[in-house]
Amino acid sequence: MTIIGPQGFRAAGLAAGIKDGERLDLALVVNDGPQHAAAGLFTTNQVKAAPVLWSQQVLAGGALRGVVLNSGGANACTGPEGFQTTHATAEKAAELLGCGAGEIAVCSTGIIGEQLPRAKVLAGLEKAVAGLADTVVAGTAAATAVLTTDSRPKQVQIVDDDGWSVGGFAKGSGMIAPAMATMLVVLTTDAVADAATCEAALRNAVEWTFNRLDIDGGTSTNDTVLLLASGASEVTVSVDELTSTLTAACAALCQELQADAEGATKRVSVSVRGARSDADALTVARTVSQDNLCKTAWFGSDPNWGRIAMAVGRSAAMVDPERLAITINGVAMCRDGVAAGDRHAADLAGPEILVEIDLGVGDGVGGILTTDLSHAYVEENSAYSS
Amino acid sequence: MTIIGPQGFRAAGLAAGIKDGERLDLALVVNDGPQHAAAGLFTTNQVKAAPVLWSQQVLAGGALRGVVLNSGGANACTGPEGFQTTHATAEKAAELLGCGAGEIAVCSTGIIGEQLPRAKVLAGLEKAVAGLADTVVAGTAAATAVLTTDSRPKQVQIVDDDGWSVGGFAKGSGMIAPAMATMLVVLTTDAVADAATCEAALRNAVEWTFNRLDIDGGTSTNDTVLLLASGASEVTVSVDELTSTLTAACAALCQELQADAEGATKRVSVSVRGARSDADALTVARTVSQDNLCKTAWFGSDPNWGRIAMAVGRSAAMVDPERLAITINGVAMCRDGVAAGDRHAADLAGPEILVEIDLGVGDGVGGILTTDLSHAYVEENSAYSS
């Protein structure tokens, strides 16, 4: 169940001193081949972190030998000095691994606007290369070293019947609202796939998984999803085959991210159908998912469907108020735009809430996974940097 | 300082039994003339409450004799039965006041999706008409009867040197994000102004006041701003003159709304300049104002400008990360997209926070008044309907 599950990969995670104390903060994932095909998707935020700017350039080549990741600092809004830190990190990793810096991606996460301690990162990298292993312990250490406010590592492995697999880890519990990708995710596969196949399959999988997750509307400066393919299984896959297994792996990581979202007490799925278009359905689902009045009602286990109707109506999608239907946890709340019965018939006490919205104006469908807005979210986010 | 400050107006507010107990829940404002010019602005939410649908039709006539307002129920998502309640309310008021129903506006606020107790509303109206008075006590009772989660009535009167004035009240503390208007507001003036002058001046004033207030992004189903002109001062005003005094009155009510926002501990002003256009500036200000990570940082008095940079970057406005400047309470946090010094030099401990953002790419300016996101907001909104 770790990043080194697929053949051809090693990993390491350790405490480089970027964070205080002995907390793990530096991770390295290496692709030992025989192939080094790779693809990456990055944040759509116009303010991009230095490692995003670097890794986007690197991925244009379609090959990766390794990925260096750190927590304890996002290296965003850090100007030329920050970019030089990322560049020096890639150069150092390349030197240690015997490849070119253009085959090393870098990912960072943590507070925005502060410089990383470059010397500590570079010193930590030497230890990381020395500690590379294809063990579950090493894979889990890497998955742990990228965490910030996450409460636990998030790992996955999906084994295909044809003798190849996809492994991966993710980090992220806040500032999560995908527009392209939404956090740091590294995926590995031992399938034989070229860079174009990797990119096509990764785009497909992310569109239906990470891009449908929205914790707090905050598309970050550092979001990155990387896929590294070693070819070590010697099984060649098509885009469709790779998409299918990747989607399963990404969906599993999405559930982990949703369950570990900052302060979340409810896992909420907002499902929309009957929209004029799929895009409209997604717009409605996203507006409801980002609405603080809906999110606080979910926290209070309150079937206050009027707030959902409000959020639907203020969305940019085409809405006919007289055709709106809302169901919560299987109980009809609203039909033809008016109350469908006793709102308290819906039981929201459990940790799962399913909101189904039918706009009744077309065939468009779409959905978003989200969470409630709790005291713990406020607590955690009012004390993060100070 | 009340709705009956201008000459020619009477008001009443009482407990009609729509809410439990003896709480005031029904208000009436009457224009005794000699003129009855009026204008109204309404929510842009596609799901509109019955009283909004009714009052929009009424205002097409440009004249109002009276306004009936209730709290304890929004009469939204209530279908034909809800519309009939609004219609019956206007008919009853017209009968009692000796005018046509087409000169009576209706406003409702409270929970969405439940029918109003029609008989109680109509019985209450008889008492309201009997109790109409041009006293401060009556005006304040009316301003009190429209409150929901508000902690206090919000009233204003601005007296012009030329012998006329504007009075008014507002209600609203959550589900506030203006797209046209953003809560219930009734304004009166004794100036002589026709309906076209009223409408032009009201649009101007609202665009620069209520439409720049955003508590929680939730444009409600019931938002209404009404202006009633009695002409009783016999002073004829131009659009510019009326706009100027109306804007002062609306700005004062906006400050009241911001200060009494649900759970707010900080009054935050987000001011943007250097945008490609005024529209872009407003987009950035609104995105930052609605961002939960920014809002919780303000609650924690945390000068975490990186979250502001994140929100700026994910907005739909054109942003050049290398030109971004952010100042908080007068202290430069970010210049040319990187840290400008020690973030902790900014003191956010007080109740007022001024966030200034310079995009450095043009001449566009815009701003939004907002609040922080506190434990009290979560508490209040997780227990509202259940």
Interface test with B, best of A84, A148, A296 (most B CBs within 10 A): A296
Residue tagged active-site, from A182, A219, A221, A371: A182
Pick the more confident residue, A294 or A254.
Answer: A294
pLDDT for A177: 53
User: pLDDT digit string (tens) for B266-317?
Assistant: 889 899 999 999 999 989 998 999 888 898 889 888 888 888 988 898 888 9
Residue predicted with more confidence, A330 or A256: A330
Confidence (pLDDT) at B181: 35
In this prediction, residue A178 has a pLDDT band, given cuts at 50, 70 and 90, of: very low
pLDDT on residue B220:
67
Confidence grade of residue A219 (pLDDT, cut at 50, 70, 90): low
Burial B208-224 (b: 16+ CB within 10 A, else e): ebbbbbbbbbbbbbbbb
CB contact under 8 A, B216 and A292: yes
**Residues contacting A246, CB < 8 A, separation 6+:** A166, A187, A189, A201, A202, A204, A205, A227
For residue A379, the chain B residues in CB contact (below 8 A) are 375
Whether residues B334 and A113 touch (CB distance < 8 A) is answered with yes
**Which tens digits make up the pLDDT trace of B165-224?**
988 888 876 555 543 334 787 889 999 999 999 999 988 888 878 877 776 666 667 777
Average pLDDT over residues A211-238: 80
Element (H, E) at B66: strand B66-70
Q: Tell me the catalytic residues of B.
A: 182
Question: Can you tell me the mean pLDDT for B64-78?
Answer: 91
H or E, element range at B92: helix B79-97
Cross-chain Cβ contact B383/A338 below 8 Å: no
Chain A interface mutation, best of B307, B320, B347, B373, highest count of A Cβ atoms under 10 Å? B307
Q: Given an 8 Å threshold on Cβ–Cβ distance, is B293 in contact with A382?
A: no
3-state helix, strand, coil in chain A (%, to 5): 35, 25, 40
Under 8 Å between Cβ of A326 and A236: no
pTM equals 0.75
Taking the CA of residue A169 and the nearest CA in chain B, the distance in Å comes to: 24
Phi, psi of B329 (to 5 degrees): 45, 45
Find chain B residues with C-beta within 8 A of A82's C-beta: 338
A25 or A187, higher pLDDT: A25
Burial A281-302 (b: 16+ CB within 10 A, else e): bbbbbbbbbbbbbbbbbbbbbb
pLDDT tens per residue across span B317-341: 999 988 999 999 999 999 998 889 8
